[in-house]
Amino acid sequence: MGRGDFELGKELGKGAQGCVYRARNKLDGSVVAIKAVELSRMSRKMREEAAHEVRVLSRLRHEHVIRYLSSFQEGMTLYIVTEIAEGGTMYEMIKRQTRMLQEKQVWKYVIQTALGLLHIHSQRILHRDVKTMNIFLTKTGDVKLGDLGVAKILDNTMDMAMTMVGTPYYLSPELCEGRAYNEKSDVWSLGCVLYELCTFKHPFEAANHGALVLKIVRGRYLPIPSSYSQVMTRIVDDCLQKDVRSRPTTEELLRSPLLAPFVSITCLKGNWPI
């Protein structure tokens, strides 16, 4: 399979590693997303990161994670072919809203994101950049977690990573302080996403990076609107626990009795990776 087998359409997005296009597979007519990574403009480290993304994606098979289809290189361009989420990003969905999201809609988004994240963690992978711009929606409004360009594969389940990556608004306190971190940093980011779904704002905002880091480390934020349930408030607080020891893992979060009414038994059994 090569570049000539696809008809590139409109640009869907652009990131540090390359552009993503809507494309049609000429062989079977299917519509896919293709990420074109220009290796010639990259340092050796960035080329390794691009190859790393391919390895990470190929290991993941879950209904709430963007599905990897294939990859190939032509000249100095690496092409990564994945399924396409026609509904755009969660970030774009939030920007279109003129009124608060219904609680049942928020639960659907956050639980599906958590299920995708649980699968990623079960493969001993940290996402490290969970944010609304990296959560995609299908035409039917289901979640597909994507963009694993900065994911970290752990050699041991208990490994702690040390590199500071991610988007500033979603960084955990341990990342801000340069401490070791694990999958619970992704749970913190998930808490930031949940907060954003409830308020259309980030829990921590500031005029500059230094002030933002200080706010995150202090761990104080305004409560979500009182129109949402106490359970919703509690889950936000659990995910945004400043002390990483008190913060749940993805599995602990999904197994919480508080979430039992919102997580269907069928869905949970069908997606449980362990």
- What residues act catalytically? 129
CB contact set of 254 (below 8 Å; sequence gap of 6+): 111, 114, 115, 118, 263, 268
Q: Distances in Å between the alpha carbon of 272 and those of 59, 268, 269?
A: 16, 6, 5
Asked if 82 contacts 67 with a C-beta cutoff of 8 angstroms, the reply is yes
Query: Around Cβ 250, how many Cβ atoms within 10 Å?
Result: 23
271: nearest Cα among 150, 117, 90: 117
User: Tokens for 57?
Assistant: 């994606």
Phi then psi for residue 29, to 5 deg, are 80, 0
